[in-house]
Amino acid sequence: MLHELCSSLLAQHLPELSEEEIVHLLEKPKHKDHGDVSFPCFTLAKTRRTSPHAIAKELSEQLQSPYFTSIEAVGAYVNFFFNPEEVAPKIVNKILSAGSEFGSNQLGHGCRIVIDLSSPNIAKPFSMGHLRSTVIGNSLSLIGKKNGYDVVKINYVGDWGTQFGKLIVAFLKWGDLEKVKQNPIPELFQLYVKFHHEAEQNPTLDEEGRKAFQELEAGNEEYLKLWTYFREVSLEAFQKVYQLLGIDFESWKGEAAYNHKMDHTTDLLKEKDLLVESDGATIVQLEEDNLPPCLIRKRDGATLYATRDLTAAYDRYTEFKFTQAFYVVGHEQSIHFKQVFAVLKKLGAPFAENMEHIPFGLYLKDGQKMSTRKGRVILLEEVLLESIEKAKKNIEERNPSFPGLEEVAKQVGVGAILFNDLKQDRMNNIEFNMDDMLQFEGETGPYLQYTHARAQSILRKASVEDNIFTGDSHRKSWELIKKLHEFPSSVETAFTKRSPAIVAHYLLKLAKLFNQYYSQVKILEDTREKESRIALVKAVTIVLAEGLRLLGMKAPDQM
């Protein structure tokens, strides 16, 4: 909105550039003293064959508009200073009329993204590692929608592979169905850990596991029955976590869903003459791509992770006709995705250029990777429940008779965990630290939620609706309003950079400015500007709530 004020003014004096070209050239000055927007004159200097300094100077003398208090040339730049009296009402009133639609755009109009996220492995606990994929993926899909994309969330549950052969062997050797029924995931997980432990001493176990998986793939009924049971109890347990997080999926097609389509994939590869025998296994050579070969079938004919991903990619394309496919998966799987995408290119898949792995760093425990195999794992459900409990105590202390306690404690407790993850640059590893996660002050989710609730409480006290902003002369209000104005561009950059952290940091800055404003201004004082101040507070609640929603968080009105 503000850039357009500059570009339309500039366009009147620059016949050689379109308004759109001008908008693209505009920059945000690094230093406050250099105004709100600046226009670099280097491009013009080339076509006009004069110095950029001279052009900047000439333009600054020609340009005049009530929207600016000053337009100055500094070196090769023309710097614009907005006039708050004229511009602030435009911004605030636009937010009030747009409501939660403020910041939406149509960048992705007509495009569909399928996003592969969460995808935990059955018969194992939902780990902190899967939390990252879940919350980053969910936030990216919300941000994608806000940018006009149609988004399909797919939970590609890890429910197939050699490990289920191993689990079946372990269950038949040492399992106790009654115990498993009482406490499914931890029991199954114990069996899995025990299997690996025993296999270290007794390598024939691995062989048994492989054979059992081979038979499972071939349709062994007893094995299938066990597998189905493992799958069912696992999904029930995962649902609890998704309910806590408030996340759902459009598709639950996991790895096993592709079992009967694997031969088709192998045939496609054969047709293109891409399959090579190596040590009895079947592979696709990827030397030209500087990648290790992609394993398609093991020596015993069993399929692999990559075989299933290739098959799933085709299936998704047929089912959803996507324009882009995202895979939100830890960076330790980068090679795997490079291999899968390279094979798709060799196959000439029509969608091969539209695949994107969106990686992220690991949660570490004492600097080390948390490995499920060794049992070094932290359970997300427990972390969430602990955080909710803490939120409850926190709210009760301040407000012992708070009516919506249970619900709001859940929103705040979960919000703390989500935000702690999303505010990090996604490629960073995060050292798992319960104390950090349960922080409710400083740069945290609860701090943002609390800021929103505080603003809502002012609105309740003001009890006026449909306010219009006409002007607020406090100098803190102008900084706050300019920050509000940046929301749409932060929504757009968050998508193009695949980075929810951009929204998270934007919200922290906005909340900080609002809290400064709030501490310096008597919002409800009966003066001429009262209505405008309330309108501004309302605009802040709109943007905070919408920003939190994009992170997958709730914004309670009271807490």
Using CB under 6 A as the criterion, which residues of the chain lie in contact with ligand ARG when the complex forms?
116, 119, 121, 156, 158, 309, 327, 329
Taking the least distance from each CB to ligand ARG, the nearer of 114 and 409 is: 114
Q: How far is the CB of 282 from ligand ARG (least distance, A)?
A: 20
* Residues written for the chain: 559
The residue number with the shortest CB distance to ligand ARG is: 158
The strand pairing partners of 295, in sequence order, are: 283
Q: Dihedral (C-alpha) 525, 527, 529, 533: value to the nearest 10 degrees?
A: 10
Give the containing element (helix H, strand E) for 324.
strand 324-328
Type of residue numbered 190: Q
- For residues 166 and 175, give the distance between their C-alpha atoms in angstroms, rounded to a whole number: 12
Q: How far is the CB of 192 from ligand ARG (least distance, A)?
A: 14
Taking the least distance from each CB to ligand ARG, the nearer of 37 and 377 is: 377
- Write the secondary structure of 79-104 as one string of H (helix), E (strand) and C (coil): EEEECHHHHHHHHHHHHHHHHHHCCC
Question: If you compute the radius of gyration of the chain from its CA atoms, what whole number of angstroms results?
Answer: 28
Taking the least distance from each CB to ligand ARG, the nearer of 69 and 372 is: 372
- For residues 76 and 147, give the distance between their C-alpha atoms in angstroms, rounded to a whole number: 34
Taking the least distance from each CB to ligand ARG, the nearer of 339 and 467 is: 339
Q: How far is the CB of 423 from ligand ARG (least distance, A)?
A: 24
Q: How far is the CB of 356 from ligand ARG (least distance, A)?
A: 12
Q: How far is the CB of 234 from ligand ARG (least distance, A)?
A: 12
Extended beta strands in 329-388, E state: 355-358, 363-365, 368-369
Question: For residues 144 and 151, is the Cβ–Cβ distance under 8 A?
Answer: yes
Q: How far is the CB of 327 from ligand ARG (least distance, A)?
A: 5
Taking the least distance from each CB to ligand ARG, the nearer of 4 and 236 is: 236
Taking the least distance from each CB to ligand ARG, the nearer of 122 and 539 is: 122
CB neighbours of 537 closer than 8 A, spacing ≥ 6?
455, 458, 459, 462, 523
Q: How far is the CB of 290 from ligand ARG (least distance, A)?
A: 21
- For residues 155 and 263, give the distance between their C-alpha atoms in angstroms, rounded to a whole number: 23
- For residues 54 and 161, give the distance between their C-alpha atoms in angstroms, rounded to a whole number: 69
Angle formed by the axes of helices 487-496 and 500-520, nearest 10°:
160
Plot region of 161 (φ>0 → left; ψ -120 to 50 → alpha; else → beta): left
Q: How far is the CB of 117 from ligand ARG (least distance, A)?
A: 8
Taking the least distance from each CB to ligand ARG, the nearer of 162 and 467 is: 162
Taking the least distance from each CB to ligand ARG, the nearer of 315 and 557 is: 315
- For residues 419 and 424, give the distance between their C-alpha atoms in angstroms, rounded to a whole number: 9
Q: How far is the CB of 472 from ligand ARG (least distance, A)?
A: 50
Taking the least distance from each CB to ligand ARG, the nearer of 498 and 538 is: 498
Question: For residues 132 and 359, is the Cβ–Cβ distance under 8 A?
Answer: no
The token pair at 500 is 């929810």
Q: How far is the CB of 256 from ligand ARG (least distance, A)?
A: 12
Output DSSP code: residue 288. Answer: G
Q: How far is the CB of 291 from ligand ARG (least distance, A)?
A: 16
Taking the least distance from each CB to ligand ARG, the nearer of 156 and 213 is: 156
The strand pairing partners of 364, in sequence order, are: 369, 431
Taking the least distance from each CB to ligand ARG, the nearer of 67 and 156 is: 156
Task: Kindly tell me the burial class for residue 222, based on how many C-beta atoms sit within 10 Å of its own C-beta (0-12, 13-18, 19 or more).
Answer: exposed
